[in-house]
Amino acid sequence: MLTFNIEHKDVGSKARAGTITTAHGTIQTPIFMPVGTLGTVKGVQQRDLEEVIKAQIILGNTYHLYLRPGTEILEKAGGLHRFNGWDKPILTDSGGYQVYSLSHRRKITEEGVTFQSHIDGSKHFFTPEKAIDIQRSIGGDIIMAFDECTPYPCEYNYAKKSMGLTHRWLKRCCEHFDKEPSLYGYYQTLFPIVQGSTYKDLRIASAETIASFEREANAIGGLSVGEPAEEMYEMTDIVCNVLPKDKPRYLMGVGTPANILECIALGIDMFDCVLPTRNARHGLLYTQEGIINIKNAKWKEDFSPIDPNGPCETSRFYSKAYLRHLMHCKELLGAQIASLHNLSFYLWLVGEARKHIAAGDFASWKDAMVKKVQTRL
Amino acid sequence: MLTFNIEHKDVGSKARAGTITTAHGTIQTPIFMPVGTLGTVKGVQQRDLEEVIKAQIILGNTYHLYLRPGTEILEKAGGLHRFNGWDKPILTDSGGYQVYSLSHRRKITEEGVTFQSHIDGSKHFFTPEKAIDIQRSIGGDIIMAFDECTPYPCEYNYAKKSMGLTHRWLKRCCEHFDKEPSLYGYYQTLFPIVQGSTYKDLRIASAETIASFEREANAIGGLSVGEPAEEMYEMTDIVCNVLPKDKPRYLMGVGTPANILECIALGIDMFDCVLPTRNARHGLLYTQEGIINIKNAKWKEDFSPIDPNGPCETSRFYSKAYLRHLMHCKELLGAQIASLHNLSFYLWLVGEARKHIAAGDFASWKDAMVKKVQTRL
């Protein structure tokens, strides 16, 4: 069983701090989950995920892991935890998002999605049932329903039709999930996903339908796909008002530090995003004083630590000038240091949010922090 | 002052175990020095260099560091130790080797070498004096004389002429080095380099000339450039017989685990080579049982640790199948794990050699180990 215990509720916002319990340990919310696409958080050793970044749960991507190494190897390994040596909680997405964003020549029918691999062009067919089977093979503690993630902008009629399909697919996911047990003897849980694009009535209808499935937690998809931040917040707020208060809420693929803080205030408990690692590889660093483009000439002779008062031991150790040099020379170590830095910052940020929710001053702290984290240094 | 204290001499070979003392600490010989081309051992955090690999000294490359980040930044940082956070000994090469192997349109005269940068084609002029100045700016504990490294094969007359130039350049290096003090207040020392290609008489003449400069240690260059291993060993043996026994001997750019063991037996104390890191990035792993090409299909479902009984905690943690998956997906973490593994193995190998020299059974251990490390697994 997945449990969720809410320990604190903020007084000035809808933020809450809680603890989720899974078969591989507990997660203190609100939480950010580093993305481990192919079974590895890019450039980060598992030991550093635990000791430097202090990650509590990581993601695996079903689409990527299905293509490489494939479910046969994952099953023989005894699941992803055994394969990559990460023995804390893992969440897997359903592959739906990547099927739409990465693969070629996809074709959606009521039955499922036919797509071509972005690697070798080979043809594959995902159904809700197959997405569940693959996730059972990967062995994540939390697995996601197979949905259609609509693009932005999306016409109302398409969004409505797609939402209906997502709901019917959810029913198939649940039925299949509930009759097929875990392969590895530990408990897995299935999160359903609210869709509905940026239309209030669709979002409300979808949230009501998703809630009616009465799963152990609920997720919100189809945001952070190009819409203005204000629309993302509005939709998140509307959906959070419908989804049950006593279950974890996961906002998929969000976002910047400011996005995360604003959505914690709306009642979101879980986040994931590739931004901290992808931007790290391009030299964009998040700090509590603002955003640093470490490639800029202004850091060339700045021998002070990357983030002197920050939470990351790695960025207290190395200087800005050294990291800039590594980035300019495209040295592997540059991406490694920057990834450790950004992920440490994200985990620190949600940890601070949790502390301020407990202290009862989250809303005012959040407003001040949102301004700071958006500053360009 | 650089000191060298020989603590053990092997009975069955010319191997010796000693301790070199530098301004940044001691080095237990025989030693392998990981190559940190641009001020970073590719893909390895400084913390892991110390804690996982147990490196005692690393290299910096003058040619690369002169081009990026340049001596101005290195001087403002207070030298390479301060710049990259490695506070143990550093050795810098003179740039001569890279000028010949990497740069375009080089032209050698008595005065020095004109070359074009491999990065942007910009023109540069290195003289023996300039090579010393740059190395003073980098601030390595050990700096190398500017020499001409001849290719293999090399005609006798060219090798002889080139050797003469290397000797005249050495005189200029020493004169310049001895009158220009360290920029950072700590002691640096200059190693001269024996050349002479694969010609016995030239090698003997060069070793005698180099020894006559009476520097604190001596290096052997121009080997491991394509000649058969037997020729490398023959030349190393001849030169070691001439160079003073009480000073450290450094064989530059060597080599495979077998090369290193054979040359320790001939009286070499210090080694460096890009093989362990370069091969790591291509999936070739050195172990005490032999060489593994981790990309091979045979490791696809091998979930045992990369090197279950090896010295590297990282390769006891991750499985062969996982590393193979990372390598196939070209994930950053693959190169990181493999680099930690190979460098840990090299450091372990020279550490074991040291133990067996002390125990007096080096020669027999070496013969058995040479066979093992050359096996293809």
Give just the sign of the alpha carbon dihedral B56, B61, B66, B68: negative
Residue B85: which of A300, A317, A325 has the nearest Cβ? A317
For residue B145, the number of C-alpha atoms closer than 13 Å in the C-beta half-sphere is 30
Q: What is the pLDDT of residues B327-372, one digit of tens each?
A: 999 999 999 999 999 999 999 999 999 999 999 999 999 999 999 9
Q: What is the pLDDT of residues B27-68, one digit of tens each?
A: 999 999 999 999 999 999 999 999 999 999 999 999 999 999
Annotated catalytic residue, options B10, B147, B269, B272: B272
Instruction: Write down the residue that tokens 């091998």 correspond to.
Output: B302
- pTM value? 0.97
Best of A281, A332, A340, A343 to substitute, by most chain B Cβ atoms within 10 angstroms, is A332
pLDDT of B8 strictly over 90: yes
Q: What is the pLDDT of residues B212-260, one digit of tens each?
A: 999 999 999 999 999 999 999 999 999 999 999 999 999 999 999 999 9
pLDDT of A20 strictly over 90: yes
Q: Which two tokens stand for residue A242?
A: 């419908």
Question: pLDDT at position A105, please?
Answer: 79
Q: Could you count the other beta carbons within 10 Å of the beta carbon of residue A155?
A: 11
B246 is catalytic: no
Instruction: Write down the residue that tokens 């006559």 correspond to.
Output: B212
Residue A325: which of B39, B303, B335 has the nearest Cβ? B39
Contacts of B83 in chain A (CB under 8 A): 303, 319, 321-322, 325
Please provide the CATH number assigned to the domain covering A3-272: 3.20.20.105
Q: Which two tokens stand for residue A212?
A: 């009616």
Domain B3-273: CATH superfamily, name plus number: Queuine tRNA-ribosyltransferase-like (3.20.20.105)
Residue-averaged pLDDT of chain A: 97
**CB B198, CB B227: distance < 8 Å:** yes
Question: pLDDT at position A102, please?
Answer: 79
B272 is catalytic: yes
The ipTM is: 0.97
Which DSSP string do the residues of A64-120 spell out, in sequence order? Answer: HHHHTT-HHHHHHHTSHHHHH---S-EEE--SHHHHHHT-EEEEE-SS-EEEE-TTT
**CB A335, CB A43: distance < 8 Å:** yes
pLDDT of B103 strictly over 90: no
Chain B: residues touching A (Cβ < 8 Å): 38-40, 42-47, 68-69, 73, 76-78, 82-85, 300-301, 303, 314, 317-319, 321-322, 325-326, 328-329, 331-333, 335-337
β-bridge mates for residue B33, sequence order: B272
Question: pLDDT at position B97, please?
Answer: 86
Question: pLDDT at position B263, please?
Answer: 98
Question: pLDDT at position A308, please?
Answer: 96
Question: pLDDT at position B96, please?
Answer: 84
**CB A41, CB A33: distance < 8 Å:** no
Q: What is the pLDDT of residues B58-70, one digit of tens each?
A: 999 999 999 999 9
Instruction: Write down the residue that tokens 């060993």 correspond to.
Output: B233
Integer Rg of chain B from CA: 20
Residue percentage of chain A with pLDDT more than 70 = 100
Name the nearest CA neighbour of A96 among A140, A145, A162.
Answer: A145
β-bridge mates for residue A286, sequence order: A291
Question: pLDDT at position B46, please?
Answer: 98
- Structural domain boundaries in chain A: 3-272
